[in-house]
Amino acid sequence: MLIVRGLKKHFDIGAQSFGGERSVVRAVDGVDFTVAKGETLGIVGESGCGKSTTARLLMHLIQPDAGSLIFDGEEVNAIRGMSVSDMRRNMQMVFQDSYASLNPRLTIRESVAYGPRVTGLSRAQARARSDSLLDMVGMDPSNFANRYPHELSGGQRQRVNIARALAMAPRVLILDESVSALDKSVEAQVLNLLRKLKRELGLTYIFISHDLNVVRYISDRVLVMYLGQVVESGPVDAIYTAARHPYTRALLSSRPSMDPRKRIEIAPLTGDPPNPINPPSGCRFRTRCPQAQPLCAQEAPALASAPSDVSHVAACHFPLTYEPGLASHPVSGARQ
């Protein structure tokens, strides 16, 4: 469905000193990935790694500096191929802040009907589609259609945002931390709703979240980002049981355990991410990696597939390997 190649966005922050060179924040720095039809791609990583910026670049809410986007075989380009406006009809986005995403002066029915109305449907047709979608996401139109955003809970507002995104009959939904502000019971309801909608409407999802358990529940494949770059990608089970990149292993090890006998006593990852204005040479994770070697500083690793699974790739000179029967105990490939 989507092919992304060489996606880049550097934000200019001006010269650090009078007469000096202009500095840029390398928010997204050469991201490549694909999304198959009907799958859910989960994107994870620490805050500031470029997840949300990548989503906005896909929607062209931020203009990319470089890179190409191919949507279902057509390149998205203002001059040739699919236009950005046509792409946006097929790809919609649900944002994290459910309240800020809605116009406080419009009723729920008007918010959902706005897109279909401005693209050619009559007022009656747009209102009918709005009511149908509200009912689809579990919001009874007779009870909620004439309410305003401030009269709804966070979970209800996020259901409205999902309905509004579906109003344009898209084929792809980008969900940027769409359940992170909800309590766990409501979060579970929204996640089950998303799975139901995907199954019934044949949707494709790009699901961005910092919650690794949520990503595992809803995703088919996982993309791990660090400091503006992809460090690992693969099927969800392969990532969670046989992570090949040290950063991915550290993320997974940081998850809290419900078993008091498995408490985390040693931090799996220490220190802050490097400055994105002046990232480290070679591998960007080497300054925090416990197994970094001289080669890591000299040469940036390329994404390479695992011997047993070509769909599981990691950008590491010394990827982690696993002995049979010891999937939970990674062993550094560099020390063998």
Domain CATH for 201: 3.40.50.300
In a domain, residue 82? The reply is yes
Confirm if 310 and 233 have CB atoms less than 8 A apart.
no
Q: Do the domain assignments include residue 234?
A: no
Structural domain boundaries, residue 269: 242-336
Do 259 and 324 fall within a single domain? Answer: yes
For residues 176 and 309, state if they share a domain.
Answer: no
Q: What was the pLDDT predicted at 22?
A: 76
Per-residue pLDDT averaged across 171-190, rounded? 89
Q: What is the pLDDT of residue 315?
A: 93
292 and 197 inside one domain: no
Last residue of a domain, one of 219, 253, 276: 219
**Among the three residues 185, 219, 253, which one is the final residue of a domain in this structure?**
219
- The pLDDT of residue 133: 94
Q: How many CA atoms lie within 13 A of 110 on its CB side?
A: 10
Per-residue pLDDT tens digits for 55-67: 999 999 999 999 9
Residue 230 lies in a domain: no
Considering the domain boundaries, does residue 227 fall inside one?
A: no
| C-alpha pair distances (Å), 16 with each of 12, 60, 272 | 11, 29, 22
pTM above 0.85, yes or no: yes
Question: How many domains is the chain partitioned into structurally?
Answer: 2
Residue 96 lies in a domain: yes
Q: What is the end-to-end Cα distance of the chain in Å, rounded?
A: 40
Residue 312: how many other CB atoms lie within 10 Å: 23
Residues 159 and 98 in one domain: yes
Q: Is residue 323's pLDDT more than 60?
A: no
Does the residue 233 lie in any domain? no
